Amino acid sequence: MQNMSKKHKFNSNYKYNPLDPRNWTLFCKVVVISSILLIIDWILGLNIQIESIELSFFAENFTDTDFFIKIFPLVALIIILVLIPFLNKDMDESPFFGAIIIKVILYLGSCQYTILGKIGEFILSLSCSILIVVVLVFIILIETEEPINKIQVLIFGLILLIVHLIINIFIFSWRFEETWGLIFILTILAGILLIQRNLSLIGGLLIFIITIIIDYIIAYDLNGLDAGLELLKFASLFIVISSVGSR
């Protein structure tokens, strides 16, 4: 009887082993398959003379070196693969942050050399976006406040925008575009403060309008490393919907 108990305990622990591919979540499997496609695409890119390449943020802005085209894309993909054990949890836990990290890594370092890479990048980026939006629905509309609450989501998105602005200043120095970026960031901060003071409808609308302006109207590259603006846009939209629905 004691041996059976030990055996059951071992099986129970093994069942939730995050390194066991048989127990990976759907999102985890999508990450693995997409990363493999991108690695194959990287190998093809090194061995085939290709003129049209979808460059990453670093590769596009550091054109004086081949490092960000030939080496760093593989480093970025290895980092994504290392995240896999941390993605094998419930949707309201670390996969939310993992999806954000993956989008940032793809934006900064992943280049696509063939149609295979473009498909892999599209699937991976879309899967991360879907997971982020679904979790935001639970956090804001269903009010689970897990893994973080709505204010923390907005602050996290704002931090990504600030980091992106700092990187832009480092690369391009201060331009007129950086002035716009600072104004956008201060406006979003004002919206967050309004939401904290229980003026959720006004604050949410303010942030949502600003994110739409940044994303679709002003031609300025400040998307929070392809994740911050997405967080702010959908979080503010759901805050507005929740505020209107509660009236």
* pLDDT tens, position by position, 24-41: 788 889 999 999 999 999
Q: Looking at this protein, which amino acid is placed at residue 35?
A: S
Rounded to an integer, the average pLDDT of 202-224 is 91
Max mean pLDDT range (8-22, 87-101, 210-224): 210-224
Q: How far apart are CA 76 and CA 190, in angstroms?
A: 35
The share of the chain scoring above pLDDT 90, in percent, equals: 63
> Each residue of 80-108: pLDDT tens digit?
999 887 787 654 455 889 999 999 999 99
Which region, left, alpha or beta, applies to residue 28 given φ > 0 means left and ψ of -120 to 50 means alpha?
alpha
Q: Is pLDDT larger for residue 6 or for residue 132?
A: 132
Q: Are 125 and 106 in contact (CB under 8 A)?
A: yes
Q: How does 96-124 read in b/e, with b if 16+ C-beta sit within 10 Å?
A: bbbbbbbbbbbbbbbbbbbebbeebbebb
Rg (CA), the chain: 21
> Each residue of 131-189: pLDDT tens digit?
999 999 998 988 876 678 899 999 999 999 999 999 999 998 898 889 999 999 999 99
CA distances from 20 to 82, 84, 89 (A): 14, 11, 13
Query: Is pLDDT of 228 > 60?
Result: yes
Alpha helices in the chain (DSSP H): 2-15, 26-47, 57-61, 67-70, 72-82, 84-87, 95-109, 115-136, 150-172, 176-196, 200-212, 228-245
